[in-house]
Structure 1
Amino acid sequence: MSAHDHEAPSASECADYLDQIVYFIDNELDEADCTVVRAHLDSCNPCLEKYDLQRTVKSIVARSCSEPAPSELRAKVLLRIRQVQVRITDA
């Protein structure tokens, strides 16, 4: 093992991995990238904690979003979408 193997990752390296964590959680990375991200998470506790937090938040949001929106809110959103579509097609 070289001396570099024992060094903590730099802040910029961690930032790069943290950008990939969202894609990693959603299974949107290829296997090679997944392997690299897993290896980083295994060796970097701060990134692992952020990964766990992101995964927990995503899980809570997914559970919370299983309820349908109230019909009044749904109607307002659909109306707003139609208004935006009219503006786009009129432009």
Structure 2
Amino acid sequence: MSCGKPHETDCSEVLAEVWMFLDHECDSGRRQLLEQHLDECSPCLEQFGIEEHLKVLLARKCGGEHAPDALKQRLREKIRKTVVEQAGVTVQDRSDLP
């Protein structure tokens, strides 16, 4: 997806990282770049809003029981991999950060 306007961060990168942004898994510098892009790009902001609503809905409907940490980690990794593959972008590996 692209709005056709030049941005410091490409639309496809922003959308590939939207779940990391929503889960507060970005470092502050990356988070700032993503926020700036969302402020400038209404198509990405709209998609972000959809993802944000989906996250809230999932938390409300599926939040009663807590999954084991190992399962949550495997799901996060699979979601990230799928999103990155679908977007066709390279996302910074954050496994070496504290």
TM-score with structure 1 setting the length:
0.61
- Residue of structure 2 in register with 1:74 after alignment: none
Q: How does 1:68-83 map to 2 (within 5 A)?
A: none
Residue 14 of structure 2, aligned match among 14, 17, 33? 17
Q: Which runs of 4+ in 1 moved over 4 A?
A: none
Which blocks of at least 5 consecutive residues in structure 2 are unaligned? 66-98
CA distance in structure 2 between the partners assigned to 1:53 and 1:25 by the alignment: 12
Which blocks of at least 5 consecutive residues in structure 1 are unaligned? 1-6, 69-91
Larger C-alpha radius of gyration, 1 or 2?
A: 1
> Among the aligned pairs, what percent are the same residue?
31
CA distance in structure 2 between the partners assigned to 1:47 and 1:21 by the alignment: 10
Deviations 1:27-80 (A, max 9, x none): 000000000000000000000000010000010011001345xxxxxxxxxxxx
Residue 31 of structure 1, aligned match among 22, 28, 33? 28
CA distance in structure 2 between the partners assigned to 1:66 and 1:22 by the alignment: 17
CA RMSD, 1 decimal: 2.0
Number of matched pairs: 61
- Residue of structure 1 in register with 2:44 after alignment: 47
TM-score with structure 2 setting the length:
0.57
Residue 58 of structure 2, aligned match among 61, 67, 81? 61
